Chain A
Amino acid sequence: MRVIHAARARLALLFGRRADDRMDAEIAFHIEMETARLVREEGLGVHEAARRARVAFGGVQQHKETLRDGRGLSWLGGLSLDFKLGARMLVKYPGLTIVAVLGMSVAVAIGAVSFSAIYSVLDAKLPFDAADRIVALKSQDVNTGESDRTQLYDFETWREALPAVQELSAYRTVDRNLITRDRRYESVIVVEMTASGFRVPRVPPLMGRYFDASDEARGAPPVVVIGYDVWQTRFTGSANVIGQTVWLDASAYTIIGVMPQGFAFPINNRVWTPLQLRASTFTHDNAPLVKVFGRLAPGATLSDAQRQLSTISQRLTADYPTTHQHLRPRVVPYTQLLLDSPDLVWLFHLAQLLISMLLVVIGTNVAVLVYARTASRAGEIAVRIALGASRNRVVAQLFVEALVLSTLAAAAGLAIAHVSLQQLSALLSPVAEQVPFWLHFGITPGVVVYVAGLAVLGAAVIGVVPALKATRSRVHANLQLLGSAGAAVRIGRSWTVMVVAQVAVAVVGIPIGTVALRGIRVTVEPRFAASQFIVARLFMDDVGQQPGDSTAAARFVNLRSELARRLAAEPGVTRVVFSSGIPGAESDARYEVEGSTIDGKREAPTNRGFRTNAVEPAFFDAFDIPILMGRGFTAGDASSSSTPVIVNQSFADSYLAGTNPLGRRVRAFKSGQGDGTQWFPWQTIVGVVPDFPALSDTSVAVAPRLYWPLQPNDAHAVAINVRVAGKSLGGMVGRLRELTLAVSPSLRLARLQTFIDNMNDAMAPTQLGLTAVLLVVLSVLFLSTAGMYALMSLMVTRRRREIGIRAALGAGARQVIMSVLARAAAQIGIGVGVGVFVLFLIVAGPHGGKVSLPEFYDLLAVVGLIVVVGLFAAVGPAWRAMQIQPTEALKAE
């Protein structure tokens, strides 16, 4: 209660003007009352009474000043002084400033990037009228976990029986080539949407109109609405665009409208056609899947809509148990479309919290350095306390100093985050059409507030703990020792433990860091012809095609043969080969290796994921990949009943070590699990090729790979690899696009770029992740090394008098130095021991592999570095101590 009274009184006094008014009113009242009393009791005239009253009150201005001082404004004055002092400290201890800012900025940047990404998803807002009323309806399959299994049939049922949601709409997306009259084409994701879909966001078209019910009718003339960007880039913003024709693959469409700039509903789209599908033309189990959305009816709530939806769902489950018994339809705010479950929101919050804690880890390291600085100022602090400063006041000062430091780090972190977020956006640009338009990764006001919070948290970690330790009492002792600089520093057992811990962190951290470092390099081995290749995925329009449709497959084979023939006729093109996957971006498949052993023991017949690629016989030759053992594929292999396979060197080394790989067998996983696992027939290894594409010796690039012959009729989509000699690859990229369209508009290319660019793109997410990991490890390492140096120096400085006395008692220089080094060496030794042990636990643990030789050398180099840094930290101050005359040391006693 007392606290509440006090807080209320302080709060009221904080508002200067009101407090001044109150003060003036009280003083005026007082003087009037006194005047009236003097007139009444002493019979004075009013003027004389007023004069006497003022005299009795004393100096009005002086009392007002005293009142103002008591209001906490003086405290503010002191605070600004603390900030100035903090800024001065940055300059006075530049080493600490640089180390702390570098280390903490990394933690802040990682926190800010993840905050921006996570909360752009969680707090997303659509830029539409009453956008919070727009909802998405999705049916999760609780059995398989698939997030949205809404069928066209469900949509049509819902539309009739869901009064809580108006303008219920559906869409699906299809990949098409957008071709204009000038024969230029590009691959786009087309949205087939019900006419009502455009009415949900309430954004009118910029030109023309959007769909109405007549456009949805079967057999209606094909129409298309285009986005602002398409209008600008493909029609140069022409005013006559309405009524013009574009082709989506081979079908012609009439443009009826242009949507305004920035409109990309429902996900991130710019080409819309009417959804002309009717559930009645499909059977119940093969109706196409659609995405459903709408607007809550006036007065209806999300739970009203959910209640109605659940009722319908129960009816559908009763009518169609086979397809619907595991479906759980939900109504969610539209921007939460991507969050599969409400739990995910909490997971996101938790992840952000954990990432924020990274700052505490790094901050603890910085706290060691700050403690060293604070300890060297023990005398100054003792004087302040002796002069009457409270402990809280001193701690507040040290906190503000730390806040200045952490604010600087936060600003640097924000700058790093800004650059990283731009990188992230660039990284997402190839898949821009799949990234919802309402997500914006950038430095928002929310991010700035979060970073400010981190700055305060950082200051608390690096400032308050050392301050409390440094001001814990001992004022008397510190005052006594004021004359001998640094002698007052107390370094207890906890700090010795800290040194050992720092050494251990460095020993564990550096090898992990170097492994990450190696993973980042992308250099393709020059012996392969990779730099002469352009690659792409090649698809055929799949409308109306059923799986296993042999005529469509045959047509695709013919079309791609025709494309290969035309490409081969181009000047500069030396090879054209097809494979199922782009080399380096192959898909994973589960395989069992017959008689595979691990550490001499036979491996249980479980399956493993290998990267696999189906290739044409000329594939290896085209890339200049030599056959190391056995043979390559021949034309007959594809149709052979015992399908041969070729493995790469990593595969042979990892699973067939020490034995002849040729003739060994593998088989692919079919279905089932445990003893009931079904497998495809065994395949025999006929050849071994080097690791390709070998980037460098990274775990990312050196994956065990399996190759088998490309079957002409099972490839629905393939990778096309074109080798070009003596011509710019960039020019060939454009030419490949033209030729593909010329062969057939139903052929589509994706990820068309040079092989090297493709590798870089494939590696980019890993690179970004590894860069973050490496930055964290390096900053922890950097800080722990600096912390060790600071603590060693401090410890040796503390022993200066002891060393002086030893010298006075006749100890030789060598003995003194050795005694100092022995102590330092013992601490480093224990630290290294603990570090190596922890590293061993990590490496030998269930998720580790064997320690390979380069990692051993890493470790050796790290230990060497730590010993050198640690001893260097000890030798310097020891040498200084040696310069002290014994008489001086005794005098100090």
Chain B
Amino acid sequence: MTTPWGLALRHIREHWFRNLLTVGAVAVAAFLFCFLVSLIVTLDSQVEESSQNRLVVQSSVSLFVTLPIDYHPKIAEAPGVAEVTKWQWFGGYYQKPENFFAQFGLDPEPFFRMYTDDIAIVAGPEMGTKAKPKEKLITKATDATPERREAVLRAMLAEKRGVLIGKAVAEKFGWRVGDTIPLIGTIFPRADGGSWEFQVIGIFEKRKANVDEQTMFFRFDYLEEALRQKAANGPLGSGTYFVQVARGADPSTVIAGIDALFANGPQRTKTSTEAAFQQSFVSMLGNLPFFLGTIGGAVVFAVFFSVVNAMLISGRQRLRESGILKALGFRDRAIGALIVYESVLLTGGGGVIGVALAFVLAEGLRKVLSNFFPNFIVEPRTMALGLAISLAIGVVAGITPMVQLIRTKPTEALRSVG
């Protein structure tokens, strides 16, 4: 079945401005679609990557109730517990309240043993403070060696104020290993109204999608000491305990065991897997995923209509020509295929542009969204979906004019005023 495909390209070029508008509209829709779907995917991936073998112990009442310090040895002795560390949200900021990021006080040794797979130490104390400004002080994740990890752990044990910071935080504020950083505490304000001092002894990079690189890990006992000495105010205790389930142990049994330990207080606990803990944060977003999905759908819908409109207009103007082609002997199907082809070329082109734009901007968007949607990522799957939808729109939008062109008899078509 011969089809004059070249005619399609000629048509597109003929009305290049209008077709550019159509392509633009589809590109915009594809971009927005990818963006919105990526937000949802990002939220889901946080949970997916979370561990089933790590547990979070918190108060059954509220995330904001601190658990007593003496829970630590008790949890450590619970059956099936391999490691336990305190994990206290610090809630501080750097210079201005807008510059907040996550800080957690914990016990270095269990922490390093528990988090071998999740983070890669990319800068350690060997970097020193004497480095020149432009020198690359962060190595690749693949260079992260067990030796460097050991060195950072030792540095942290040696320096009470020592902190391990994520690459994103280091880059945002320009901090390097060896720097002393001051943070203002909101939950734990210094008694003299000043700032807490920490010292950077290492920088980490995430190895899993659910790790937030805008995080700082410090020593819990540094906080504890200040509280006991009244150098700072605030509750003494740990908001949460993170537990590593021993190999071979069943997480749900361990969970039940830990909660049973504290069933009579002083603070009743609610233990869950890390995955469930993460999920609860996501579910606090409530209907957001549904909301975003609806908007994504609305956009696709709107642009779909716009493209259908554009194609109908093209089709109308094409009537005369289709009559000519039919008279000359081209088959109905060929003529119909032509307009669907044009439609798909336009929407496909727009789809490619929109999807590519989402991909290119993903890095920038990740930085902008980092406080609310850490690890924003545009997956290949999302892009493929965006492209597929664009093409589908093209096919469907081309069908109505196609049907019209096919159905009109050549004699009528030739009579029409294109």
Q: Do A and B bind each other?
A: no
